[in-house]
Amino acid sequence: PELVTQLVAAGASPNKRDHKGCTALAYAMEDDRDNMLKLLLKQGADLDTCLPGGITLLMLAARLDCLDCMALLLKRGANPQQTDQWGRTALMHAAEECSSDKAIKRLLKNGCSLTAADVRGWTALHYAGMSDDEEVIKRLCQRGADLDARDHEGASALMVAAEFNSETAAERLCKLGADLDLQNDCGKTAAMIACEFDDEDLALHLLEAGCDVNLCDEVGNDLRTIAEEYECKDVLDFLH
């Protein structure tokens, strides 16, 4: 801290960026040093500075699960609804990186929206489905997240989980009541997507949970046809 004070007094700018576009605040965040964060802010560091991609300091703190830094930034007026260039909020970043329950709770408490969607139409729940974090899914749903919210291609969080082989997340979404038979803009269901992305265990789980096997995609393929195409033997055995 003393060296930082001396450098600023000597004319060093706390807002100077390095070759990656990062300021001293970003490095303080990476080390979860809220005392250094306080000092840099006191020395004139810009709270609203953005990293490449429009990533805010709050988003970075959420990704890194820096609870003390998050608390300080929110107290100083950081906007939890601000988005990066892809339309992601701090809550989406936290969900993507499987941040702690405390981080998710703090962001929600400070006004992060559960319904906000990025440029693809993904909500925080879609990101939790991708990252396979059932605790984040549970927390988001407890606070009222829409289990069946669709992105711009008609995909729900369950479909995203199926695409990324996130079985734990998918099973939690099923238990919470996600619609197993939703179809995306191509007519695919979560079970079809699971077969296409080589996740027979998840496809079997969805079958055992009662998904409709007679639905067809936009070209007329039902689950059996897709299972045959992708050689999903266990799924075919179940269907027979």
CA distance 40 to 4: 8
Structural contact between residues 93 and 85, judged by C-beta atoms closer than 8 angstroms? no
Q: Looking up tokens 């007519």, which residue turns up? A: 187
Does residue 1 surpass a pLDDT of 60?
A: no
The pLDDT of residue 37: 76
Computed over every residue of the chain, the mean pLDDT equals 90
Cα–Cα separations (whole angstroms), residue 30 to 124, 145, 201: 23, 29, 37
- Using DSSP's 3-state secondary structure scheme, residue 10 falls into coil
| Strand extents, DSSP E, the chain | 50-51, 55-56
CA distance 67 to 197: 36
CA distance 124 to 137: 9
- Using DSSP's 3-state secondary structure scheme, residue 50 falls into strand
For residues 197-217, give the mean pLDDT.
Answer: 97
Comparing CA positions, the residue from 165, 80, 95 lying closest to residue 126 is: 95
The pLDDT of residue 8: 58
Comparing CA positions, the residue from 95, 100, 99, 144 lying closest to residue 122 is: 95
What confidence category does residue 17 fall into, taking pLDDT thresholds of 50, 70 and 90?
Answer: confident
Burial 84-100 (b: 16+ CB within 10 A, else e): beeebbbbbbbbbbbbe
Percent of the chain with pLDDT over 90: 69
Structural contact between residues 223 and 192, judged by C-beta atoms closer than 8 angstroms? yes
Task: Specify the DSSP class assigned to residue 54.
Answer: G
Comparing CA positions, the residue from 112, 144, 143, 114 lying closest to residue 126 is: 114
For residues 111-140, give the mean pLDDT.
Answer: 95
The pLDDT of residue 7: 65
Q: Looking up tokens 């701090």, which residue turns up? A: 90
Q: For residue 9, count other CB atoms closer than 10 A to its CB.
A: 9
The pLDDT of residue 2: 65
Q: Torsions phi, psi of 56, nearest 5? A: -85, 165
* Cβ partners under 8 Å of residue 203, min gap 6: 191, 194, 195, 227, 232, 235
The pLDDT of residue 31: 64
